[in-house]
Amino acid sequence: MSNSVEQELEKFEVPTRTRFGWVTRTISVLCVLLSLAHIWFNTLSTWSELWISAIHFAGFAMICALWYPALPRWRESKVALAFDVLLALLALACLIYLMLAEDALYERGVKFVTSDWVFSILAILIVMEMIRRTMGWFIPTLILICLT
């Protein structure tokens, strides 16, 4: 490609976090593990769809939180990285909660208790933030409109 085309395409690229070596290695490991998990899900797994969906959500949310900073100017900020690691851990907490609470949720006839609401709302907020980081404000705005 010519330089002018590459410069035009760079305007649309979302900045990623590359300065921190441990972050890129962690992302690589997560990507490999998530790929292998999806192969296993689609061939041999007998896990519930809720577990598979929760793993899919948490895995990609963790990758996205670590790879894409909240704002382009925060790409090299350690404080922003700490916030993003917390966000990735919250996505992991959603996964763990859903896996541990699935049977209790079904025993209650899918009636939500307070902790179900907290983790469900947290998951929706994490999804909206990850979509905003990768695709902009339009889709999260649509989600918010549809949820109200």
Give this prediction's pTM. Answer: 0.87
Q: Which domain holds residue 28?
A: 3-147
- The enclosing H or E element of 6 equals helix 3-10
CA angle 54, 39, 88 (to 5 degrees): 35
Split into its structural domains, the chain has a count of 1
The full 3-state SS of 115-131, as one line of letters, equals HHHHHHHHHHHHHHHHH
R_g of the chain, CA atoms, integer Å: 18
Mean pLDDT by 10 residues, the chain (148 residues): 75 80 94 97 94 97 95 90 97 97 95 97 96 93 92
Residue 84: count of CB within 10 angstroms of its CB: 24
The confidence score (pLDDT) of residue 1 equals: 56
